[in-house]
């Protein structure tokens, strides 16, 4: 997927032109989402929520004041939000998340080559009771107190579906993961994934391999998942997992999470970590952490080494509740 920067279209907000882009907008605070920001019209009084990521569609100028994003459930779904309300990532660029209001100082590393995504399954499962892995959750299951593997994503994000047929891409994008080919894994690896990646009950491993793993250097599913699980094990054996397990049902800040990463993996490691959250009624739940890595995992390189080689990133969600097992 290549961003169409420089492609001019008629503006939905009344300006003469807009510049189409393709990427993501990560809200760092709650902000109004306008149908027309010039007229301040907002049908339904829609807001973006801190910690949520939205598809990025366009900017109103080369040096924008607003971005157009898509908000599922809003009518109309395409809305304008101020650049002050978050950070963006252009899928046509190789860099990480950017804040257009921020300066250009050094981040102490280069853009992440891989993103490790780890889920907090109880938080994710709120609102996903129909998923098999959520319906079967229990207090004694591994993911009740430990992070679960979501994925390992080569960067930049346009690096997806390598040598994959269009038919399989279409199947994946429709969410029909059961119809994707079974991943070529040994019995031991499958057994490990059943525990560490509960989403296998919904065929998540097929989706992750087709979309991301096919672009992973090495080209073998066994290597891809083995190296992802090795990183997961490091986090689950660290002060980060201890922080989450000790505060189930409580609210923690992004600063506390980043501090735990510094304690576990060295000063500055926390600056490479972003939290994702979602609203559940009046609660804001932590659902995922993503960690930027400066290179692919390999023998002799610890998570601390890989994190230090990566650039700092936006913290994302300012904090949230560590949800316990069970639907509330």
Q: How many C-beta neighbours within 10 Å does residue 249 have?
A: 9
Read off the pLDDT of each residue in 309-313 and give the average, rounded to a whole number.
Answer: 87
Band of pLDDT at residue 91, cut at 50, 70 and 90: low
Work out the pLDDT band at 78, boundaries 50, 70, 90: very high
Q: What percent of the chain has pLDDT over 70?
A: 86
Q: Considering only 53-62, 133-142, 255-264, 282-291, which range has the smallest mean pLDDT? A: 53-62
* Location of structure tokens 């038919």: 167
* Domains defined along the chain, listed by start: 8-90 (2.30.30.40), 114-321 (3.90.730.10)
The answer to whether 121 and 133 have CB atoms below 8 angstroms apart is yes
- The whole-number average pLDDT for the span 96-104 is 47
Is residue 98 pLDDT above 60, yes or no?
no
Report the pLDDT value the prediction gives residue 213, as an integer from 0 to 100.
96
Residues facing 279 on adjacent strands = 284
Average pLDDT over residues 10-18: 45
Distance separating alpha carbons of residues 326 and 125, to the nearest angstrom:
8
- Of 12-21, 281-290, 319-328, least confident by mean pLDDT is 12-21
Average pLDDT over residues 241-264: 97
Tell me what pLDDT residue 296 has: 85
pTM: 0.70
pLDDT of 13: 38
What ranges make up the beta strands (E) of the chain?
Answer: 8-9, 18-27, 31-32, 47-48, 53-59, 66-70, 78-82, 86-90, 114-119, 148-154, 251-253, 273-280, 283-293, 319-321
Q: CA 302, 303, 308, 311 torsion: positive or negative? A: positive
Indicate whether 10 pLDDT > 50: no
pLDDT at 220 over 90: yes
Q: Is residue 106's pLDDT more than 60? A: no
3-state secondary structure 257-294: HHHHHHHHHCCCHHHHEEEEEEEECCEEEEEEEEEEEC
The answer to whether residue 270 scores a pLDDT higher than 50 is yes
What's the CA gap between 146 and 245, in Å, rounded?
Answer: 7
The rounded distance, in Å, linking the Cα atoms of 47 and 73 is 11
Backbone angles phi, psi at 89, to 5 degrees: -135, 120
């Amino acid at each position: 997927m290549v961003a169409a920067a420089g492609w001019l279209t008629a503006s939905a907000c009344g300006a003469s032109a807009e510049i189409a882009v393709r990427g993501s907008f990560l809200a760092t605070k709650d902000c109004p989402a306008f149908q027309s920001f010039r007229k301040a019209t907002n049908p339904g009084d829609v807001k973006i929520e801190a910690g949520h990521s939205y598809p990025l569609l366009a900017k109103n100028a080369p040096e924008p004041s607003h971005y157009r994003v898509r908000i599922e459930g809003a009518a109309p779904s395409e809305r304008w939000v101020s650049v002050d309300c978050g950070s963006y990532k252009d899928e046509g660029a190789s860099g990480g998340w950017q804040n257009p209001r921020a300066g250009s100082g050094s981040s102490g590393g280069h853009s992440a080559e891989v993103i490790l995504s780890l889920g907090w399954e109880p938080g994710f499962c709120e609102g996903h009771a129909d998923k098999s892995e959520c319906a079967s959750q229990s207090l004694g299951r591994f993911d009740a107190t430990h992070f679960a593997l979501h994925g390992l994503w080569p960067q930049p994000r346009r690096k997806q579906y390598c040598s994959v047929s269009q038919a399989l891409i279409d199947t994946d994008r429709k969410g029909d993961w059961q119809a994707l080919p079974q991943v070529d894994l040994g019995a031991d690896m499958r057994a490990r994934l059943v525990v560490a990646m509960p989403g296998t009950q919904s065929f998540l491993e097929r989706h992750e391999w087709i979309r991301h793993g096919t672009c992973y250097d090495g080209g073998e599913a066994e290597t891809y998942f083995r190296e992802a699980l090795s990183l997961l094990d490091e986090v689950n054996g660290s002060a980060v997992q201890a922080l989450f397990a000790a505060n189930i049902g409580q609210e923690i800040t992004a600063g506390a999470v980043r501090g735990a990463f510094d304690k576990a993996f060295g000063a500055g490691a926390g600056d490479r970590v972003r939290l994702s959250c979602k609203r559940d009624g009046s609660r804001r739940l932590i659902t995922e952490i993503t960690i930027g890595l400066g290179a692919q995992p390999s023998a002799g390189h610890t998570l601390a080494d890989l994190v230090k080689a990566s650039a700092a990133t936006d913290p994302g969600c300012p904090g949230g509740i560590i949800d316990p097992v069970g639907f509330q």
